Amino acid sequence: MKTSLVLAMAVSVLSGPSLAEDFGFAGILSNSNKEDLPELTLSSGKPVADGPIMLKSGKLYEIEIVSDGSAELALEGSGFFRAIWVNEVVVNGLEIRPFGLESVEFDDAGTMEIEFVAIKPGRYFLRQPGTTGENQRVDITIE
């Protein structure tokens, strides 16, 4: 996908329905364009994910991050968070519409849902801060 098309998609999503319709992306946030991803797990001593995640630029995704409360755990991945447009983060039924994310952290057990549009193709990761083990990260590719 050309950079100008990706930029037009990002502008259309950020600018609202009228500009999205002008560029032909009105359905980008529709449920027919949405895919649920495998859940990520934050638990002391358990892998974050079952394997790598493959995404397509311009597609809407939702991912659940679940913490069992066994430790205070977080996920960081500034490269990934800068390559997506976050539509909303839902925590305990509360919807948050952030300008962007750097990381997410759980002090206690709970579930967080992040709905986003993959924008910039490349290879990224989310990992538990300060760790180097393969089980404490998930590799993500945006095509």
Average pLDDT of the segment spanning 29-41: 86
Decide if 73 is inside a domain. yes
* Spatial distance between the Cα atoms of 86 and 14, rounded to a whole number of angstroms: 10
**Domain, as residue range, for 86:** 28-142
Decide if 19 is inside a domain. no
pLDDT tens figures, 42-79: 998 899 999 999 999 999 999 999 999 999 999 999 99
Decide if 7 is inside a domain. no
| Beta strands per DSSP E along the chain | 34-36, 40-42, 53-55, 60-67, 73-76, 84-91, 94-96, 103-106, 110-118, 122-127, 137-142
Decide if 22 is inside a domain. no
pTM: 0.80
CATH of the domain at 65: 2.60.40.420
Decide if 39 is inside a domain. yes
The pair of three-digit structure tokens given for residue 128, joined into one six-digit string: 């538990």
Decide if 66 is inside a domain. yes
Average pLDDT of the segment spanning 129-142: 93
Bigger pLDDT: 15 or 92? 92
Asked whether the predicted pLDDT for residue 20 surpasses 50, the reply is no
What is the count of structural domains for the chain?
Answer: 1
